[in-house]
Structure 1
């Protein structure tokens, strides 16, 4: 970003963003983002915003109110979770606009997400793929191969339980074949929830293997656990507890950690959330379970069959459909369109 804004119409900026995203995401994700951002461009037209340089925090606040009242153009009461999903897409779009000098730096941080009832958040929260992509991009840039980077990437790309990640050993990774073997080993304190039925081999991408290899070679504490095994993820005392790994995943999500920035008006040093006991309260973080739920939702949105997703994440199709599939009816329809055409 040069610091000098260059005039651009909202619709042109949306087209530039979608042109960038199309080869990066699944077709269903692309069309969902296109729908959301087209509505944003339509709103800009109605409000007379011909140049994104003129976008302000006050105008974005008006857009939030617009979504809460009229988003579905006929349904005057969209759920807070739906509004939050739409605003998350706009926020990522505005990050792109900052990079191309279309809006002032920090404009994306002015997108205010709606308050959600704690019970609704617990039941419905999941990590959105755009937010996961942003976190991974920042971790790759600033903390490549760190425990935060390796653990977050593996959690997101495998949708594995925290107990599964804790039970992995260095030897479970086959870097030559890009595979990770998950085993039930209760006799040495690393059982799987579904016991032998949860054992599986998970295929990994080159990028994931590269991150794990970097972590093992340069950042992993070279220790064994009390049974003489070599844990993949370690502390100086051996295999970490689940609570330690949960803390690592929360830390990886903190904007003040991965981006040296705070969108919540806190100072970096004195931030109340940047402590071991408070990280989970940061509005920018979700529970490790919600990372798993988001990973499952991303796989399904990419058109991967439910059976394959269930096998990878070790869950039945009934559990997957009832508790982990966070896609909206429209997003599900877009996936089906890939197989059946018009719907």
Structure 2
């Protein structure tokens, strides 16, 4: 990369008042020239196009999961497109104003599927832009300090928390329907795992037959991070854990394996739990089961939107996500975690079972009202009182 001097803006001639004397002009010129030379010495940057910087950056980010890499590719593609439109060919030309202008353009003018990006979404994307600019700073192709000028939109209260949750009644209705009409199918097994421990899509897809222990006094499954053999867990090795299974879940799993599982191996020679004729089930198929079976009309609850099946665009499996009442996999996970918290399960244990920090659990998954939290605390104290006296040694009226 060649060295590029970014001091041209400072070298522009000073505009003087008409009445300025030649001596004054000469003095100002000498100061301006000195400033320009000083700035030039401090800001000698390597010459690098925005496109080359992006390509090199992405090539070095080998520690990220594929899904995270795709997110970087997406936002940096938008960044490359915007800088090209603005005539910004080189990274050394970027200023804090450009960063702000890109953020506004990306949020309000560039969205593809929505009128405007949510605050949490644009902040997440700008965090990736800052990560890219910090990398650029380490190889001396952007002005020092530029990454720290990346500004984020202020989010008040709980604007960054998703409140949509699968409620227990609907979850039970789905389970009863699948038990009766889809027993021991792939759809049923997927929902068994979602409702058994709030499983993520990646958790479900990663399970092999060898990961299951369905007999004995302590039936369980093991979740393992195997990035070199086709499956990843969200937090890598930290996501590995052993999950206890209920007798009911084990019974359905055994019946599925014996009767309905396609006896195939994947391209790595592994034996997946959930299979298709071509091998391991895809994440998109697992996600589709969430939308498919959260539609009220498909689980015997009728249509709350007054639609007829033959005229509804969401009636078919491919259009299930279009139903206003259908819900994503994340809603089932949120519902499971909220239900267990309401049942009085210690957040420490829930954190370990579901691979979620207590901080994230509290902020993003705990959808209990203050009164519900009070009842849980009250039950915990009443249970504790069975084995020891209250702090004051007397019973309190509650």
Query: Normalised by the size of structure 1, how large is the TM-score?
Result: 0.62
The secondary structure found in structure 1 opposite 2:285 is: helix
> How much does 1:294 deviate?
0.7
Secondary structure of 1:180's aligned partner: strand
Mapped pair 1:254 → 2:295? yes
Q: CA deviation at 1:179?
A: 0.3
- Distance in structure 2 (CA, Å) of the matches to 1:171 and 1:223: 14
Instruction: Please give the root-mean-square deviation of Cα atoms over the aligned residues, in Å.
Output: 2.1
How far off its partner does 1:120 sit?
7.6
Residue of structure 2 aligned with 1:148, choices 177, 187, 197 = 187
Partner of residue 262 from structure 2, selected from 218, 221, 224 = 221
| Count of aligned positions | 225
Deviating more after overlay: 270-279 vs 178-187: 270-279
Residue equivalent to 1:126:
165
Structure with bigger RCO (C-alpha 8 Å, 6+ apart): 1
Say whether the 8 Å CA contact 2:262–2:277 is kept in structure 1.
Answer: yes
Counterpart residue number, 1:138: 177
Secondary structure at the aligned position of 1:278 is classed as helix
Aligned to 1:198: 239
Bigger Cα Rg? 2
What is the rounded CA distance, in whole Å, between the counterparts of 1:295 and 1:138 in structure 2? 18
> Is the 1:296–1:324 Cα contact (8 Å) retained in structure 2?
yes
SS at match of 2:251: helix
Find the counterpart in structure 1 of residue 220 from structure 2.
Answer: 179
Shift of 1:252: 2.4
Q: Which residue of 2 aligns with 1:292?
A: 333
Displacement of 1:314 after TM fit?
Answer: 0.3
Once the two structures are superposed, residues 30-80 of structure 1 have per-residue CA deviations (whole angstroms, 9 ceiling, x without a partner) of xxxxxxxxxxxxxxxxxxxxxxxxxxxxxxxxxxxxxxxxxxxxxxxxxxx
- For 2:143, the equivalent position in structure 1 comes to none
Once the two structures are TM-superposed, the CA of residue 168 in structure 1 deviates from its matched residue by 0.7
Give the C-alpha shift of residue 251 in structure 1: 1.5
CA change 1:312–1:231 in 2 (3 A) is same
Partners of 1:152 and 1:252 within 8 A in 2 = no
Question: What SS is found at the alignment partner of 1:228?
Answer: coil
Give the drift of 1:277. 3.8
Tell whether the 8 Å contact from 1:179 to 1:202 is kept in structure 2 after alignment.
yes
Greater Cα offset, 168-177 or 262-271: 262-271
Deviations 1:307-343 (A, max 9, x none): 1111111011001001111111111111011022577
Structure 1 stretches of 4+ with a deviation exceeding 4 A read 119-122
**Cα separation, partners in 2 of 1:225 and 1:269, compared to 1, 3 Å:** farther
Q: For residues 336 and 182 of structure 1, what CA distance do their matches in structure 2 show?
A: 32
Q: Are 2:161 and 2:364, in contact at CA under 8 Å, matched by a contact in 1?
A: no
Distance 1:279 1:227 in 2: 32
Which one of 230, 233, 236 corresponds to residue 271 of structure 2?
230
Contact 1:142 1:258 in 2 (8 A): no
Shift of 1:140: 1.0
From 249, 265, 277, the counterpart of 1:208: 249
Unaligned runs of 5+ residues in structure 2 are 1-157, 383-396
Q: Aligned equivalents of 1:141 and 1:245: distance in 2?
A: 20
Equivalent-residue separation in structure 2 for 1:253 and 1:221 (angstroms): 26
Moved more, 122-131 or 316-325: 122-131
- Is the contact made by 1:224 and 1:238 (CA closer than 8 Å) also made in structure 2? yes
Deviation (angstroms), 1:187 = 0.8
